[in-house]
Amino acid sequence: MASESQQGIIGFIIKYKFTLVFAVIFIALFRQNIWINDFPMVIYDRQNTIDNIIADNSRIQKDNQVLSQQINNYLDDDLILIESRARYKYGLIKDDETYYQINAIVEVDNRNETPESNL
């Protein structure tokens, strides 16, 4: 009887043990991906996120191009005007320039001063 193959479920398990192990592993992985990880929807969500980021990047690049064109459209006269305003407002001078500041003359009546106030 030892040489005869076993019958029934035990014989089936012994004969197809590798196939059954691979089937159990496959079912476990399938369950993990579909039910627990929500497999296809995760990919669609990530693709939508990537598409949104690409759209935002293209919009920002267009805005940057518009701003770059606005900056490049300044004429030399505009730059000279901006420079003169900055020089007036902040007192900026170039390296080869001499800056003279002229103040208004204030007249003071000195007749009532004492000799000590002239110090």
pLDDT score, position 3:
43
Domain membership flag for residue 104: no
Number of structural domains (the chain) is 1
CA gap 22, 28 in Å, rounded: 10
Cβ neighbours, 10 Å, residue 17: 10
User: What's the length of the chain?
Assistant: 119
- Assigned domain for 58 exists: yes
Domain-embedded: residue 57? yes
* 69-75 average pLDDT score: 77
Residue 85: both structure tokens together: 């305003």
3-state secondary structure of 1: coil
Residue 73 located in a structural domain = yes
57: domain range?
A: 8-95
Distance CA 89, CA 25 (A): 77
Say which residue, 41 or 109, is predicted with more confidence.
41
